[in-house]
Structure 1
Amino acid sequence: MQSGIRLERQGSIATVILNSPDKLNAMSRAMWRELKQAFEILQADADVRCVLVRGAGSHFCAGGDIAEYPDFRFDEALLQTFHEDDVWGALSAMLACDVPVVARISGVCMGAGVEIASACDLRLAADDAKFGAPIARLGFPMAPREAALVSAAVGEMTARAMLLAAEVFPAAHMAAQGFLTHVLPMHELDAACESLLQRVAGLAPQAARLNKQTLRALRSGAPVSNAYSYAPSAEHREGIDAFIAKRKPLF
């Protein structure tokens, strides 16, 4: 099977699969570009209500595809293009997605894997998953915008330990730092993800998109415009009417 990013759909739920299992789903340059394309497609699809991001096989993502690094890492301009266009292009497309994004994390979640997980809204992990960014062992730092994203998600002290001491943390630590929504035994992970996806997909899709937009604006310090323009919407009326009538809303 050819490696890359696979995009699958089942009803209103989409799944984005990091698909390079022979390399523990390490991200190649092509995969970063494909990840951006996948999220641009999802952002434009009004029928999608929730997205799951996972790795193929038993691991989430081992980091970047180091075999490619000699092709561009030793030239400053090429290196900048890689981080600012390929990597940040994909991560910013994930962050710009107005649909709730759930990460299913098992096995290793290193470097690029932590960055991708940090761009998700909710994160479920197996209790034996491992997290880190030991790139100091490879002789380079994390790019600035990637470091800001990871630090905001995992907490500054954990980010410093990952980057400055090459520490690798278990899922329990990451949950204690607020990075993980739930930690479960591996045999319960898929069922928990499916339950969460169905719950999110069954909620008001307009409200989810507006919440994503509000949270994004608040993080950037931008004003929240048209915050109450949803007032006359059919979805808003349906939610209130259903509650008053003591019935399940139909969104």
Structure 2
Amino acid sequence: MSGLVRVVREGAMAFVTLSHPGRLNAMSRAMWLALRAAFEALSAEEALRCIVVRGEGGAFCAGGDISEYPSFRFEERSLRAFHEDEVWAGLQAMLDCPVPIVAQIEGACMGAGIEIASCCDIRLAAGSAKFGAPIAKLGFPMAPREAELVQRAIGDVLARDMLLAAGVHGAQRLYDAGFLLQVLPDDAVAAAVLAHAARIVALAPAAARLNKATFLALNRCAASDLVPTAYRYADSPEHREGIDAFLAKRPAVF
């Protein structure tokens, strides 16, 4: 079995579960392709308001499926195709997703796992979760775009330690670095993620998508470049409802 990326819809929420039994949900090549397909499909769903990404069986993702590596890693063209056409394509589909993404991180979050988590908007973790990218022990570096993604998300100091010294860190250290929103008891993280996702679902969906578009654009250009189109939502029903409800002292209905 080469692993699965399972998608389940529940109302305005979707759950994307990484599943690779016996391998701590390590990402196989098939899983990278499935991750891309899942997020491209979810991105097209207008009614969707929040996506939760999680791993199966008490682990988030332990990295890549090393058992597959000898078949492609030792030739430059196939290695490049793997990272650029499979891994990065899956990560880019997550980054391009207009729907807020919440990560539920438990157990191992290593290598590919920390890359996937870095693509999520909000990350909550169990206290026992472990984070790292100890691929220096395997004799190869992180691909450039993947390294940039992780460095931006976790910060330069931790990124360098993970890649140069194979450092593995606990959830509290990642919280202190600003990577995690919350660190929770192991038996409380799933409920906390669900509550946070429900909170997002109850808020203005178009505003969330516009905020995500802004964040994505800011990674590519300066804020001033966004000004010409930034205020086109002025006459939108959602904008009017939010302000009207506040002034009327009633809950907004989005």
Q: How many residues align?
A: 251
Identical amino acids, percent of aligned pairs: 59
Report runs of 4+ in structure 1 exceeding 6 Å deviation: none
* AA in 2 matched with 1:229: R
Contact map agreement 2:13 2:49 (CA 8 A) in 1: yes
Map 1:63-74; keep pairs closer than 5 Å. Answer: 63-74=63-74
Contact 2:2–2:28, Cα closer than 8 Å, also in 1: no
* Letter matched to residue 159 of structure 1: A
Amino acid at match of 2:246: F
Aligned counterpart, 1:226: 229
Number of the residue aligned with 1:123: 123
Letter paired with 1:248: P
Structure-to-structure mapping, 1:1-251, within 5 angstroms = 3-221=3-221, 223-224=225-226, 225-251=228-254
Question: 1:83-137: CA deviations, max 9, x gaps?
Answer: 0010000000000011110000000000000000000000000001000000000
Conservation of the 8 A alpha-carbon contact between 2:3 and 2:27: no
How far residue 3 of structure 1 moved from its aligned partner, in angstroms, is 2.7
- Rounded to whole Å, the distance in 2 between the matches of 1:44 and 1:191 is 27
Paired AA for residue 8 in structure 2: E
* Matches of 1:125 and 1:117, distance apart in 2: 10
User: Any conservation in 1 of the 2:2–2:30 contact (CA below 8 Å)?
Assistant: no
Q: Which secondary structure state, in structure 2, belongs to the residue aligned with residue 123 of structure 1?
A: strand
- Cα distance in structure 1, aligned partners of 2:102 and 2:193: 8
CA distance in 1, matches of 2:57, 2:193: 16
Q: Deviations over 1:183-233 (max 9, x none)?
A: 000111111011100000100000000000011111211522511011111
TM-score (norm 2): 0.97
- Partner Cα separation in structure 2 for residue 228 and residue 64 of structure 1: 42
Tell me the secondary structure at the aligned position of residue 220 of structure 1.
Answer: coil
Taking the aligned partners of 2:23 and 2:208, their CA distance within structure 1 comes to: 35
Cα distance in 1 for partners of 2:188, 2:24 equals 21
3-state SS of paired residue (2:17): strand
Q: CA offset at residue 21 of structure 1? A: 2.5
Determine the C-alpha separation between the residues in 1 that align with 2:105 and 2:194.
13
AA aligned to 1:240 is: I
Tell me, yes or no, if the aligned pair for 2:61 and 2:109 is still in contact at 8 Å.
Answer: yes
In structure 2, the gaps of 5 or more residues are none
The AA in structure 2 aligned to 1:237 is R
Amino acid at match of 2:204: A
Q: What SS does the corresponding residue of 1:80 show, helix, strand or coil?
A: helix
